[in-house]
Structure 1
Protein backbone atom coordinates (compact mmCIF):
# COMPACT_ATOMS: atom_id res chain seq x y z
CA UNK A 1 0.00 0.00 0.00
CA UNK A 2 2.89 2.38 0.77
CA UNK A 3 4.49 1.73 -2.61
CA UNK A 4 1.11 2.28 -4.31
CA UNK A 5 0.79 5.69 -2.64
CA UNK A 6 4.35 6.59 -3.65
CA UNK A 7 3.54 5.55 -7.21
CA UNK A 8 0.41 7.72 -7.31
CA UNK A 9 2.37 10.70 -6.00
CA UNK A 10 4.97 10.15 -8.73
CA UNK A 11 2.17 9.89 -11.30
CA UNK A 12 0.72 13.17 -10.02
CA UNK A 13 4.11 14.88 -10.37
CA UNK A 14 4.51 13.48 -13.89
CA UNK A 15 1.33 15.26 -15.01
CA UNK A 16 2.87 18.55 -13.85
CA UNK A 17 6.01 18.24 -15.98
CA UNK A 18 4.77 16.27 -19.00
CA UNK A 19 1.69 16.31 -21.29
CA UNK A 20 -1.09 13.82 -20.59
CA UNK A 21 -0.68 12.32 -24.08
CA UNK A 22 2.71 11.07 -22.84
CA UNK A 23 2.01 10.23 -19.19
CA UNK A 24 -1.28 8.36 -19.51
CA UNK A 25 -0.26 5.72 -22.10
CA UNK A 26 2.94 5.01 -20.15
CA UNK A 27 0.74 3.74 -17.33
CA UNK A 28 0.81 0.43 -19.18
CA UNK A 29 4.39 -0.04 -17.94
CA UNK A 30 2.98 -0.84 -14.50
CA UNK A 31 1.23 -3.84 -16.05
CA UNK A 32 4.57 -5.08 -17.41
CA UNK A 33 6.30 -4.67 -14.04
CA UNK A 34 3.45 -6.51 -12.32
CA UNK A 35 3.63 -9.40 -14.80
CA UNK A 36 7.41 -9.75 -14.49
CA UNK A 37 7.41 -9.55 -10.68
CA UNK A 38 4.55 -12.06 -10.49
CA UNK A 39 6.59 -14.42 -12.70
CA UNK A 40 9.58 -14.38 -10.33
CA UNK A 41 8.02 -13.71 -6.91
CA UNK A 42 4.63 -15.43 -7.11
CA UNK A 43 5.68 -18.18 -9.54
CA UNK A 44 3.00 -17.17 -12.02
CA UNK A 45 4.18 -18.47 -15.36
CA UNK A 46 4.49 -15.76 -18.00
CA UNK A 47 3.32 -17.44 -21.20
CA UNK A 48 4.54 -16.65 -24.71
CA UNK A 49 1.46 -14.55 -25.35
CA UNK A 50 2.21 -12.55 -22.20
CA UNK A 51 5.84 -12.03 -23.26
CA UNK A 52 4.61 -10.75 -26.63
CA UNK A 53 2.25 -8.37 -24.82
CA UNK A 54 5.13 -7.02 -22.67
CA UNK A 55 7.29 -6.46 -25.75
CA UNK A 56 4.42 -4.66 -27.52
CA UNK A 57 3.88 -2.35 -24.54
CA UNK A 58 7.60 -1.51 -24.36
CA UNK A 59 7.87 -0.84 -28.11
CA UNK A 60 4.74 1.32 -28.11
CA UNK A 61 5.95 3.27 -25.07
CA UNK A 62 9.32 3.97 -26.73
CA UNK A 63 7.56 5.27 -29.87
CA UNK A 64 5.34 7.54 -27.76
CA UNK A 65 8.30 8.92 -25.79
CA UNK A 66 10.33 9.62 -28.96
CA UNK A 67 7.50 11.55 -30.63
CA UNK A 68 5.95 13.13 -27.52
CA UNK A 69 5.05 16.85 -27.84
CA UNK A 70 6.87 19.51 -25.87
CA UNK A 71 5.15 20.58 -22.67
CA UNK A 72 3.91 24.15 -22.46
CA UNK A 73 3.78 25.08 -18.79
CA UNK A 74 1.16 27.74 -17.95
CA UNK A 75 2.41 30.65 -15.86
CA UNK A 76 -0.66 30.93 -13.61
CA UNK A 77 -3.94 29.30 -12.67
CA UNK A 78 -5.73 32.07 -14.52
CA UNK A 79 -4.05 30.94 -17.74
CA UNK A 80 -5.21 27.38 -17.06
CA UNK A 81 -8.70 28.70 -16.41
CA UNK A 82 -8.67 30.46 -19.78
CA UNK A 83 -7.74 27.13 -21.39
CA UNK A 84 -10.56 25.38 -19.50
CA UNK A 85 -13.14 27.96 -20.57
CA UNK A 86 -12.32 27.98 -24.28
CA UNK A 87 -15.35 26.96 -26.40
CA UNK A 88 -13.91 23.62 -27.59
CA UNK A 89 -13.25 22.34 -24.06
CA UNK A 90 -16.56 23.69 -22.76
CA UNK A 91 -18.34 21.70 -25.47
CA UNK A 92 -16.35 18.58 -24.50
CA UNK A 93 -17.11 19.07 -20.79
CA UNK A 94 -20.82 19.64 -21.43
CA UNK A 95 -21.03 16.58 -23.68
CA UNK A 96 -19.14 14.48 -21.10
CA UNK A 97 -21.37 15.50 -18.19
CA UNK A 98 -24.52 15.02 -20.27
CA UNK A 99 -23.51 11.48 -21.26
CA UNK A 100 -22.58 10.68 -17.65
CA UNK A 101 -25.97 11.88 -16.40
CA UNK A 102 -27.78 9.77 -19.01
CA UNK A 103 -25.70 6.72 -18.07
CA UNK A 104 -26.25 7.24 -14.33
CA UNK A 105 -29.95 8.09 -14.37
CA UNK A 106 -31.23 5.92 -17.24
CA UNK A 107 -28.85 3.11 -18.22
CA UNK A 108 -27.20 2.24 -14.89
CA UNK A 109 -30.41 1.14 -13.06
CA UNK A 110 -31.61 -0.89 -16.07
CA UNK A 111 -28.48 -2.25 -17.72
CA UNK A 112 -25.60 -1.71 -15.28
CA UNK A 113 -25.61 -5.31 -14.06
CA UNK A 114 -25.33 -6.87 -17.53
CA UNK A 115 -23.53 -4.27 -19.68
CA UNK A 116 -19.94 -3.49 -18.68
CA UNK A 117 -19.82 -0.39 -20.89
CA UNK A 118 -22.23 1.49 -18.59
CA UNK A 119 -19.98 1.48 -15.51
CA UNK A 120 -16.74 1.86 -17.47
CA UNK A 121 -18.22 4.62 -19.61
CA UNK A 122 -18.97 6.64 -16.47
CA UNK A 123 -15.50 5.95 -15.02
CA UNK A 124 -13.64 6.83 -18.22
CA UNK A 125 -15.58 10.01 -18.96
CA UNK A 126 -15.17 11.32 -15.41
CA UNK A 127 -11.55 10.15 -15.42
CA UNK A 128 -10.72 12.38 -18.37
CA UNK A 129 -11.96 15.41 -16.41
CA UNK A 130 -10.08 14.15 -13.35
CA UNK A 131 -6.76 14.17 -15.18
CA UNK A 132 -7.06 17.73 -16.52
CA UNK A 133 -8.16 18.95 -13.06
CA UNK A 134 -5.27 17.20 -11.33
CA UNK A 135 -2.87 18.63 -13.90
CA UNK A 136 -4.18 22.12 -13.12
CA UNK A 137 -3.81 21.51 -9.37
CA UNK A 138 -0.28 20.20 -9.83
CA UNK A 139 0.76 23.26 -11.83
CA UNK A 140 -0.77 25.51 -9.14
CA UNK A 141 1.24 23.70 -6.44
CA UNK A 142 4.42 23.94 -8.52
CA UNK A 143 3.99 27.70 -9.04
CA UNK A 144 3.22 28.20 -5.35
CA UNK A 145 6.41 26.38 -4.32
CA UNK A 146 8.34 28.60 -6.74
CA UNK A 147 7.09 31.67 -4.87
CA UNK A 148 4.15 32.58 -7.10
CA UNK A 149 1.23 31.88 -4.77
CA UNK A 150 -1.90 30.48 -6.44
CA UNK A 151 -3.84 29.78 -3.25
CA UNK A 152 -5.76 33.04 -3.31
CA UNK A 153 -7.20 32.36 -6.77
CA UNK A 154 -10.76 30.95 -6.61
CA UNK A 155 -10.01 28.95 -9.78
CA UNK A 156 -7.52 26.84 -7.80
CA UNK A 157 -10.20 25.71 -5.35
CA UNK A 158 -12.66 25.17 -8.17
CA UNK A 159 -10.21 22.74 -9.80
CA UNK A 160 -9.80 21.01 -6.42
CA UNK A 161 -13.59 20.64 -6.08
CA UNK A 162 -13.92 19.25 -9.61
CA UNK A 163 -11.10 16.76 -8.95
CA UNK A 164 -12.68 15.53 -5.69
CA UNK A 165 -16.11 15.06 -7.30
CA UNK A 166 -14.69 13.32 -10.36
CA UNK A 167 -12.39 11.01 -8.38
CA UNK A 168 -15.22 10.01 -6.00
CA UNK A 169 -17.57 9.23 -8.88
CA UNK A 170 -14.86 7.40 -10.79
CA UNK A 171 -13.90 5.15 -7.85
CA UNK A 172 -17.54 4.44 -6.97
CA UNK A 173 -18.47 3.11 -10.39
CA UNK A 174 -15.13 1.38 -10.91
CA UNK A 175 -15.76 -0.61 -7.72
CA UNK A 176 -19.24 -1.47 -9.00
CA UNK A 177 -17.73 -2.70 -12.26
CA UNK A 178 -15.18 -4.85 -10.42
CA UNK A 179 -17.90 -6.27 -8.16
CA UNK A 180 -20.12 -7.16 -11.11
CA UNK A 181 -17.72 -8.29 -13.84
CA UNK A 182 -14.50 -10.25 -14.19
CA UNK A 183 -11.37 -8.21 -13.48
CA UNK A 184 -9.67 -9.72 -16.54
CA UNK A 185 -12.37 -8.07 -18.66
CA UNK A 186 -12.69 -4.81 -16.73
CA UNK A 187 -8.98 -3.89 -16.65
CA UNK A 188 -8.13 -3.82 -20.38
CA UNK A 189 -11.42 -2.19 -21.44
CA UNK A 190 -11.12 0.46 -18.74
CA UNK A 191 -7.48 1.16 -19.62
CA UNK A 192 -8.29 1.65 -23.31
CA UNK A 193 -11.34 3.87 -22.71
CA UNK A 194 -9.76 5.94 -19.94
CA UNK A 195 -6.50 6.52 -21.82
CA UNK A 196 -8.26 7.43 -25.06
CA UNK A 197 -10.64 9.94 -23.46
CA UNK A 198 -7.85 11.43 -21.34
CA UNK A 199 -5.72 12.04 -24.43
CA UNK A 200 -8.70 13.64 -26.21
CA UNK A 201 -9.52 15.91 -23.24
CA UNK A 202 -5.90 16.96 -22.78
CA UNK A 203 -5.42 17.61 -26.48
CA UNK A 204 -8.52 19.82 -26.56
CA UNK A 205 -7.70 21.79 -23.40
CA UNK A 206 -3.91 22.08 -23.50
CA UNK A 207 -3.48 21.70 -27.28
CA UNK A 208 -0.70 19.15 -26.75
CA UNK A 209 -0.37 18.43 -30.47
CA UNK A 210 -0.21 22.07 -31.51
CA UNK A 211 2.84 22.67 -33.73
CA UNK A 212 3.56 18.98 -34.27
CA UNK A 213 3.89 17.50 -37.73
CA UNK A 214 1.40 15.01 -39.09
CA UNK A 215 4.04 12.26 -39.07
CA UNK A 216 4.78 12.80 -35.36
CA UNK A 217 1.08 12.67 -34.46
CA UNK A 218 0.63 9.52 -36.58
CA UNK A 219 3.64 7.94 -34.86
CA UNK A 220 2.19 8.69 -31.41
CA UNK A 221 -1.14 7.17 -32.42
CA UNK A 222 0.64 4.06 -33.74
CA UNK A 223 2.58 3.79 -30.49
CA UNK A 224 -0.64 4.17 -28.51
CA UNK A 225 -2.34 1.43 -30.53
CA UNK A 226 0.69 -0.81 -29.99
CA UNK A 227 0.50 -0.25 -26.22
CA UNK A 228 -3.23 -1.05 -26.25
CA UNK A 229 -2.58 -4.25 -28.22
CA UNK A 230 0.11 -5.31 -25.75
CA UNK A 231 -2.19 -4.63 -22.81
CA UNK A 232 -4.96 -6.75 -24.34
CA UNK A 233 -2.48 -9.56 -25.04
CA UNK A 234 -1.26 -9.51 -21.44
CA UNK A 235 -4.77 -9.72 -20.02
CA UNK A 236 -5.71 -12.43 -22.51
CA UNK A 237 -2.72 -14.47 -21.37
CA UNK A 238 -3.68 -14.02 -17.72
CA UNK A 239 -7.30 -15.00 -18.43
CA UNK A 240 -6.14 -18.18 -20.17
CA UNK A 241 -3.83 -18.94 -17.27
CA UNK A 242 -6.70 -18.60 -14.80
CA UNK A 243 -8.73 -21.30 -16.60
CA UNK A 244 -6.17 -23.80 -17.95
CA UNK A 245 -8.20 -26.92 -17.29
CA UNK A 246 -11.58 -25.81 -18.53
CA UNK A 247 -11.36 -28.04 -21.63
CA UNK A 248 -9.76 -31.05 -19.93
CA UNK A 249 -12.77 -32.34 -17.98
CA UNK A 250 -13.88 -35.82 -18.93
CA UNK A 251 -16.95 -37.73 -17.75
CA UNK A 252 -17.05 -41.50 -17.48
CA UNK A 253 -19.94 -43.75 -16.45
CA UNK A 254 -18.87 -47.24 -15.48
CA UNK A 255 -20.42 -50.28 -13.90
CA UNK A 256 -17.08 -51.39 -12.50
CA UNK A 257 -14.73 -50.02 -9.92
CA UNK A 258 -12.24 -47.18 -9.99
CA UNK A 259 -9.55 -49.67 -11.12
CA UNK A 260 -10.98 -49.54 -14.64
CA UNK A 261 -9.88 -45.91 -14.84
CA UNK A 262 -6.30 -46.46 -13.70
CA UNK A 263 -4.93 -45.53 -17.13
CA UNK A 264 -6.60 -42.12 -17.24
CA UNK A 265 -4.09 -39.27 -17.29
CA UNK A 266 -3.61 -37.44 -14.00
CA UNK A 267 -4.32 -34.00 -15.46
CA UNK A 268 -7.94 -34.92 -16.22
CA UNK A 269 -10.74 -34.47 -13.76
CA UNK A 270 -12.54 -37.81 -13.76
CA UNK A 271 -15.84 -38.67 -12.10
CA UNK A 272 -16.91 -42.30 -11.71
CA UNK A 273 -20.55 -43.18 -11.22
CA UNK A 274 -20.55 -46.72 -9.91
CA UNK A 275 -23.56 -49.00 -9.97
CA UNK A 276 -22.62 -50.24 -6.52
CA UNK A 277 -22.52 -46.87 -4.84
CA UNK A 278 -24.29 -43.53 -5.42
CA UNK A 279 -21.18 -41.64 -4.46
CA UNK A 280 -18.98 -39.76 -6.87
CA UNK A 281 -15.32 -40.79 -6.70
CA UNK A 282 -12.56 -38.54 -7.97
Structure 2
Protein backbone atom coordinates (compact mmCIF):
# COMPACT_ATOMS: atom_id res chain seq x y z
CA UNK A 1 0.00 0.00 0.00
CA UNK A 2 2.86 2.37 0.85
CA UNK A 3 4.43 1.76 -2.55
CA UNK A 4 1.16 2.52 -4.30
CA UNK A 5 0.81 5.76 -2.32
CA UNK A 6 4.30 6.82 -3.37
CA UNK A 7 3.52 6.06 -7.01
CA UNK A 8 0.24 7.98 -6.81
CA UNK A 9 2.03 10.93 -5.21
CA UNK A 10 4.71 10.95 -7.92
CA UNK A 11 2.00 10.79 -10.59
CA UNK A 12 0.25 13.71 -8.90
CA UNK A 13 3.48 15.73 -8.88
CA UNK A 14 4.04 14.98 -12.57
CA UNK A 15 0.48 16.02 -13.42
CA UNK A 16 0.84 19.24 -11.45
CA UNK A 17 4.17 20.11 -13.11
CA UNK A 18 2.66 19.39 -16.53
CA UNK A 19 -0.23 21.77 -15.83
CA UNK A 20 2.12 24.51 -14.64
CA UNK A 21 4.40 24.13 -17.68
CA UNK A 22 1.39 24.30 -20.01
CA UNK A 23 0.14 27.43 -18.23
CA UNK A 24 3.56 29.11 -18.35
CA UNK A 25 3.81 28.29 -22.06
CA UNK A 26 0.34 29.72 -22.56
CA UNK A 27 1.39 32.90 -20.76
CA UNK A 28 4.38 33.28 -23.07
CA UNK A 29 2.23 32.77 -26.18
CA UNK A 30 -0.36 35.30 -24.97
CA UNK A 31 2.36 37.87 -24.24
CA UNK A 32 3.95 37.30 -27.65
CA UNK A 33 0.56 37.60 -29.35
CA UNK A 34 -0.34 40.86 -27.60
CA UNK A 35 3.10 42.32 -28.34
CA UNK A 36 2.92 41.43 -32.03
CA UNK A 37 -0.59 42.86 -32.30
CA UNK A 38 0.59 46.13 -30.78
CA UNK A 39 3.59 46.11 -33.11
CA UNK A 40 1.23 45.73 -36.08
CA UNK A 41 -0.53 48.93 -34.99
CA UNK A 42 2.81 50.76 -34.78
CA UNK A 43 4.07 49.66 -38.20
CA UNK A 44 2.43 51.67 -40.96
CA UNK A 45 1.61 49.49 -44.01
CA UNK A 46 2.94 50.57 -47.40
CA UNK A 47 -0.57 50.64 -48.80
CA UNK A 48 -3.49 52.30 -47.06
CA UNK A 49 -5.19 49.32 -45.46
CA UNK A 50 -6.34 48.03 -42.11
CA UNK A 51 -3.86 46.48 -39.66
CA UNK A 52 -6.23 43.52 -39.49
CA UNK A 53 -4.98 42.29 -42.87
CA UNK A 54 -1.25 42.50 -42.09
CA UNK A 55 0.67 39.23 -41.56
CA UNK A 56 2.05 40.53 -38.24
CA UNK A 57 -1.44 41.04 -36.84
CA UNK A 58 -2.54 37.55 -37.90
CA UNK A 59 0.59 35.96 -36.39
CA UNK A 60 -0.13 37.80 -33.16
CA UNK A 61 -3.77 36.69 -33.21
CA UNK A 62 -2.75 33.07 -33.81
CA UNK A 63 -0.25 33.23 -30.95
CA UNK A 64 -2.88 34.76 -28.68
CA UNK A 65 -5.38 32.03 -29.57
CA UNK A 66 -2.84 29.24 -28.98
CA UNK A 67 -1.92 30.78 -25.63
CA UNK A 68 -5.53 30.94 -24.46
CA UNK A 69 -6.05 27.34 -25.59
CA UNK A 70 -3.01 26.22 -23.58
CA UNK A 71 -4.35 28.07 -20.53
CA UNK A 72 -7.66 26.22 -20.94
CA UNK A 73 -5.92 22.83 -21.18
CA UNK A 74 -3.75 23.58 -18.13
CA UNK A 75 -6.84 23.63 -15.87
CA UNK A 76 -7.24 19.89 -16.44
CA UNK A 77 -3.86 19.16 -14.85
CA UNK A 78 -3.33 21.79 -12.14
CA UNK A 79 -5.52 23.70 -9.67
CA UNK A 80 -6.97 27.02 -10.79
CA UNK A 81 -5.86 28.57 -7.49
CA UNK A 82 -2.25 27.85 -8.49
CA UNK A 83 -2.48 28.83 -12.16
CA UNK A 84 -4.34 32.13 -11.75
CA UNK A 85 -1.72 33.96 -9.64
CA UNK A 86 0.81 33.10 -12.34
CA UNK A 87 -0.58 36.07 -14.28
CA UNK A 88 2.43 37.98 -13.00
CA UNK A 89 4.57 35.78 -15.25
CA UNK A 90 2.67 37.03 -18.30
CA UNK A 91 3.11 40.64 -17.17
CA UNK A 92 6.87 40.10 -16.82
CA UNK A 93 7.20 38.44 -20.24
CA UNK A 94 5.06 41.13 -21.88
CA UNK A 95 7.20 43.84 -20.29
CA UNK A 96 10.45 42.28 -21.49
CA UNK A 97 9.05 41.80 -25.00
CA UNK A 98 7.88 45.43 -25.06
CA UNK A 99 11.45 46.54 -24.34
CA UNK A 100 12.96 44.22 -26.95
CA UNK A 101 10.36 44.38 -29.75
CA UNK A 102 8.44 47.61 -29.21
CA UNK A 103 11.48 49.65 -28.22
CA UNK A 104 10.10 50.78 -24.87
CA UNK A 105 12.60 52.36 -22.50
CA UNK A 106 13.72 50.02 -19.67
CA UNK A 107 13.38 52.44 -16.74
CA UNK A 108 14.66 51.48 -13.30
CA UNK A 109 11.17 51.35 -11.75
CA UNK A 110 9.84 49.23 -14.60
CA UNK A 111 12.67 46.72 -14.24
CA UNK A 112 12.02 46.56 -10.49
CA UNK A 113 8.35 45.93 -11.25
CA UNK A 114 9.18 43.13 -13.68
CA UNK A 115 11.52 41.58 -11.10
CA UNK A 116 8.76 41.71 -8.46
CA UNK A 117 6.35 40.00 -10.89
CA UNK A 118 8.83 37.16 -11.40
CA UNK A 119 9.55 36.93 -7.65
CA UNK A 120 5.83 36.84 -6.90
CA UNK A 121 5.37 34.01 -9.38
CA UNK A 122 8.19 32.01 -7.78
CA UNK A 123 6.69 32.64 -4.34
CA UNK A 124 3.37 31.18 -5.50
CA UNK A 125 5.20 27.92 -6.23
CA UNK A 126 6.87 28.06 -2.82
CA UNK A 127 3.54 28.18 -0.96
CA UNK A 128 1.87 25.53 -3.13
CA UNK A 129 3.68 22.25 -2.36
CA UNK A 130 1.69 19.19 -3.36
CA UNK A 131 0.99 18.14 0.21
CA UNK A 132 -0.91 21.40 0.80
CA UNK A 133 -3.48 20.65 -1.89
CA UNK A 134 -6.81 18.92 -1.53
CA UNK A 135 -8.74 16.52 -3.74
CA UNK A 136 -9.41 19.13 -6.43
CA UNK A 137 -6.04 18.51 -8.09
CA UNK A 138 -7.04 15.05 -9.30
CA UNK A 139 -10.82 15.50 -9.34
CA UNK A 140 -12.58 13.34 -11.92
CA UNK A 141 -15.65 14.22 -13.96
CA UNK A 142 -17.79 11.94 -11.78
CA UNK A 143 -16.57 13.63 -8.59
CA UNK A 144 -17.11 17.07 -10.10
CA UNK A 145 -20.65 16.11 -11.12
CA UNK A 146 -21.34 15.25 -7.47
CA UNK A 147 -19.78 18.52 -6.27
CA UNK A 148 -22.11 20.64 -8.38
CA UNK A 149 -25.12 19.25 -6.49
CA UNK A 150 -23.70 20.20 -3.10
CA UNK A 151 -25.80 22.90 -1.46
CA UNK A 152 -22.83 25.16 -0.72
CA UNK A 153 -21.53 25.01 -4.30
CA UNK A 154 -24.98 25.71 -5.74
CA UNK A 155 -25.47 28.70 -3.43
CA UNK A 156 -22.05 30.08 -4.33
CA UNK A 157 -22.72 29.90 -8.07
CA UNK A 158 -26.13 31.54 -7.64
CA UNK A 159 -24.51 34.24 -5.50
CA UNK A 160 -21.97 34.93 -8.24
CA UNK A 161 -24.75 35.35 -10.80
CA UNK A 162 -26.58 37.71 -8.44
CA UNK A 163 -23.43 39.82 -7.96
CA UNK A 164 -22.89 40.07 -11.72
CA UNK A 165 -26.53 41.01 -12.26
CA UNK A 166 -26.29 43.64 -9.51
CA UNK A 167 -23.17 45.10 -11.10
CA UNK A 168 -24.89 45.35 -14.48
CA UNK A 169 -27.96 46.96 -12.87
CA UNK A 170 -25.93 49.54 -10.92
CA UNK A 171 -24.01 50.40 -14.07
CA UNK A 172 -27.26 51.12 -15.89
CA UNK A 173 -29.15 53.07 -13.19
CA UNK A 174 -26.34 54.91 -11.35
CA UNK A 175 -23.06 56.70 -11.90
CA UNK A 176 -21.11 54.67 -9.32
CA UNK A 177 -18.87 53.33 -12.07
CA UNK A 178 -17.63 56.85 -12.84
CA UNK A 179 -16.78 57.50 -9.18
CA UNK A 180 -14.89 54.29 -8.42
CA UNK A 181 -13.29 51.61 -10.56
CA UNK A 182 -14.38 48.93 -8.08
CA UNK A 183 -17.86 48.53 -9.60
CA UNK A 184 -16.53 47.78 -13.07
CA UNK A 185 -13.61 45.69 -11.84
CA UNK A 186 -15.65 43.67 -9.33
CA UNK A 187 -18.24 42.84 -11.99
CA UNK A 188 -15.50 41.96 -14.48
CA UNK A 189 -13.56 39.84 -11.98
CA UNK A 190 -16.70 38.04 -10.80
CA UNK A 191 -17.44 37.16 -14.43
CA UNK A 192 -13.86 35.99 -14.88
CA UNK A 193 -14.17 33.80 -11.79
CA UNK A 194 -17.16 32.05 -13.35
CA UNK A 195 -15.24 31.74 -16.62
CA UNK A 196 -12.40 29.97 -14.81
CA UNK A 197 -14.86 27.57 -13.14
CA UNK A 198 -16.44 26.87 -16.53
CA UNK A 199 -13.06 26.45 -18.24
CA UNK A 200 -11.76 24.06 -15.58
CA UNK A 201 -15.05 22.11 -15.67
CA UNK A 202 -14.84 21.81 -19.44
CA UNK A 203 -11.18 20.77 -19.35
CA UNK A 204 -11.85 18.07 -16.71
CA UNK A 205 -14.74 16.60 -18.68
CA UNK A 206 -12.72 16.82 -21.90
CA UNK A 207 -9.79 15.02 -20.25
CA UNK A 208 -12.02 12.22 -18.95
CA UNK A 209 -13.96 12.02 -22.23
CA UNK A 210 -10.74 11.08 -23.99
CA UNK A 211 -10.44 8.12 -21.64
CA UNK A 212 -14.11 7.13 -21.62
CA UNK A 213 -16.89 8.99 -23.44
CA UNK A 214 -20.25 9.44 -21.76
CA UNK A 215 -23.33 11.15 -23.20
CA UNK A 216 -23.72 12.91 -19.84
CA UNK A 217 -20.54 14.84 -20.63
CA UNK A 218 -22.25 16.53 -23.57
CA UNK A 219 -24.68 18.42 -21.35
CA UNK A 220 -21.77 19.83 -19.35
CA UNK A 221 -19.99 20.94 -22.51
CA UNK A 222 -23.14 22.81 -23.59
CA UNK A 223 -23.38 24.57 -20.21
CA UNK A 224 -19.68 25.47 -20.33
CA UNK A 225 -20.05 26.99 -23.80
CA UNK A 226 -23.11 29.01 -22.70
CA UNK A 227 -21.37 30.31 -19.57
CA UNK A 228 -18.25 31.32 -21.51
CA UNK A 229 -20.36 32.91 -24.26
CA UNK A 230 -22.01 35.14 -21.65
CA UNK A 231 -19.15 35.88 -19.25
CA UNK A 232 -16.36 36.55 -21.77
CA UNK A 233 -18.16 39.48 -23.48
CA UNK A 234 -19.08 40.87 -20.05
CA UNK A 235 -15.42 40.86 -19.06
CA UNK A 236 -14.45 42.76 -22.20
CA UNK A 237 -17.22 45.34 -21.71
CA UNK A 238 -16.49 46.09 -18.06
CA UNK A 239 -12.70 46.08 -18.27
CA UNK A 240 -12.94 48.51 -21.20
CA UNK A 241 -15.28 50.73 -19.17
CA UNK A 242 -12.81 50.73 -16.31
CA UNK A 243 -9.89 51.54 -18.62
CA UNK A 244 -11.89 54.35 -20.25
CA UNK A 245 -12.72 56.03 -16.92
CA UNK A 246 -9.55 55.35 -14.94
CA UNK A 247 -5.83 54.97 -15.63
CA UNK A 248 -3.72 51.83 -15.89
CA UNK A 249 -2.09 52.58 -12.54
CA UNK A 250 -5.40 52.08 -10.76
CA UNK A 251 -7.11 49.50 -12.98
CA UNK A 252 -4.37 46.92 -13.65
CA UNK A 253 -3.30 46.13 -10.04
CA UNK A 254 -6.86 46.17 -8.69
CA UNK A 255 -8.01 43.92 -11.50
CA UNK A 256 -5.21 41.44 -10.81
CA UNK A 257 -6.05 41.27 -7.09
CA UNK A 258 -9.83 40.94 -7.55
CA UNK A 259 -9.52 38.39 -10.35
CA UNK A 260 -7.11 36.30 -8.28
CA UNK A 261 -9.29 36.45 -5.16
CA UNK A 262 -12.50 35.50 -7.01
CA UNK A 263 -10.70 32.63 -8.74
CA UNK A 264 -9.14 31.22 -5.57
CA UNK A 265 -12.45 31.48 -3.69
CA UNK A 266 -14.33 29.74 -6.50
CA UNK A 267 -11.64 27.07 -6.80
CA UNK A 268 -11.95 26.24 -3.12
CA UNK A 269 -15.76 26.21 -3.04
CA UNK A 270 -16.33 24.28 -6.27
CA UNK A 271 -13.21 22.13 -6.67
CA UNK A 272 -12.05 21.94 -3.03
CA UNK A 273 -8.45 22.55 -4.05
CA UNK A 274 -7.06 23.31 -0.60
CA UNK A 275 -6.60 21.16 2.45
CA UNK A 276 -7.60 23.91 4.89
CA UNK A 277 -5.59 22.36 7.76
CA UNK A 278 -2.30 22.52 5.83
CA UNK A 279 -2.74 25.48 3.49
CA UNK A 280 -0.49 28.54 3.78
CA UNK A 281 -2.82 31.52 3.21
CA UNK A 282 -0.36 34.07 4.63
CA UNK A 283 2.32 32.99 2.17
CA UNK A 284 -0.16 33.09 -0.70
CA UNK A 285 -1.34 36.59 0.23
CA UNK A 286 2.28 37.79 0.45
CA UNK A 287 3.04 36.28 -2.97
CA UNK A 288 -0.02 37.94 -4.51
CA UNK A 289 0.85 41.30 -2.90
CA UNK A 290 4.41 41.04 -4.23
CA UNK A 291 3.12 40.44 -7.74
CA UNK A 292 0.56 43.23 -7.33
CA UNK A 293 3.33 45.66 -6.37
CA UNK A 294 5.23 44.64 -9.49
CA UNK A 295 2.17 45.01 -11.70
CA UNK A 296 1.51 48.45 -10.17
CA UNK A 297 5.05 49.64 -10.93
CA UNK A 298 4.91 48.37 -14.51
CA UNK A 299 1.47 49.91 -15.08
CA UNK A 300 2.48 53.26 -13.57
CA UNK A 301 5.59 53.44 -15.75
CA UNK A 302 3.53 52.61 -18.86
CA UNK A 303 1.02 55.31 -17.89
CA UNK A 304 3.77 57.92 -17.44
CA UNK A 305 5.35 56.97 -20.77
CA UNK A 306 1.98 57.27 -22.50
CA UNK A 307 1.33 60.68 -20.91
CA UNK A 308 4.80 61.92 -21.89
CA UNK A 309 4.24 60.72 -25.45
CA UNK A 310 0.91 62.54 -25.69
CA UNK A 311 2.48 65.76 -24.36
CA UNK A 312 5.29 65.49 -26.92
CA UNK A 313 2.81 64.99 -29.76
CA UNK A 314 0.82 68.05 -28.66
CA UNK A 315 3.97 70.20 -28.74
CA UNK A 316 4.86 69.22 -32.31
CA UNK A 317 3.74 71.68 -35.02
CA UNK A 318 0.75 70.59 -37.09
Compute the TM-score of the two structures, normalised by the length of structure 2.
Answer: 0.70
2:150 maps to 1:86: yes
Matched length:
251
> How much is the aligned-residue C-alpha RMSD, in angstroms?
2.8
2:127 to 58, 67, 70: 67
SS where residue 75 of structure 2 aligns? helix
Pick from 110, 115, 130: which aligns with 2:195? 130
SS of structure 1 residue aligned to 2:104: coil
**Structure 1 position 151, deviation (Å):** 5.2
Higher relative contact order (CA closer than 8 Å, sequence separation 6+) = 1
Residue in structure 2 matching 1:115, options 180, 195, 209:
180
The answer on whether the counterparts of 1:55 and 1:230 sit within 8 Å (CA) in structure 2 is yes
> Is the CA contact 1:119–1:174 (under 8 Å) kept in the aligned structure 2?
yes
Using the TM superposition, name which of 95-104 and 142-151 deviates more: 142-151
Query: Which residue of the partner structure matches residue 258 of structure 1?
Result: none
* 1:97 match: 161
In structure 2, distance between residues paired with 1:64 and 1:106: 35
Q: Which has the higher strand share?
A: 1
1:62 & 1:212 partners in 2: Cα distance? 23
Deviation at 1:211, TM superposition (A): 5.5
* 1:108–1:119 contact (8 Å) kept in structure 2: no
Name the counterpart of 1:186.
251
- Equivalent in 42, 45, 56 of residue 116 of structure 2: 56
State the match for 2:101 in structure 1: 41
Query: CA shift at 1:148, angstroms?
Result: 3.7
Runs (4+) off by over 4 Å: 150-153
Instruction: Give, in whole Å, the separation in 2 of the partners of 1:176 and 1:87.
Output: 35
C-alpha distance in structure 2 between counterparts of 1:72 and 1:201, whole Å: 14
The match for 2:208 among 143, 146, 151 is 143
Q: Which moved more, 1:191-200 or 1:104-113?
A: 104-113
- Confirm or deny that 1:239 pairs with 2:291: no
Residues 80 and 267 in structure 2, CA contact (< 8 A), matched pair in contact too? yes
1:108/1:118 contact within 8 Å kept: no
In 1, distance between residues paired with 2:66 and 2:159? 34
Shift in CA distance, 181/87, structure 1 to aligned 2, threshold 3 Å = same
Higher helix share: 2
- 1:142 deviates by 0.8
Q: Alpha-carbon deviations, 1:56-110, whole Å to 9, x = none?
A: 111111121132244522222x421322332332332232222222221234442
CA distance in structure 1 between the aligned counterparts of 2:272 and 2:266, rounded to whole angstroms = 9
Which residue of structure 1 aligns with residue 3 of structure 2?
none
CA gap 1:212/1:64 in 2 versus in 1, 3 angstroms: farther
Please, which runs of 5 or more residues in structure 1 have no aligned partner? 250-266, 271-280
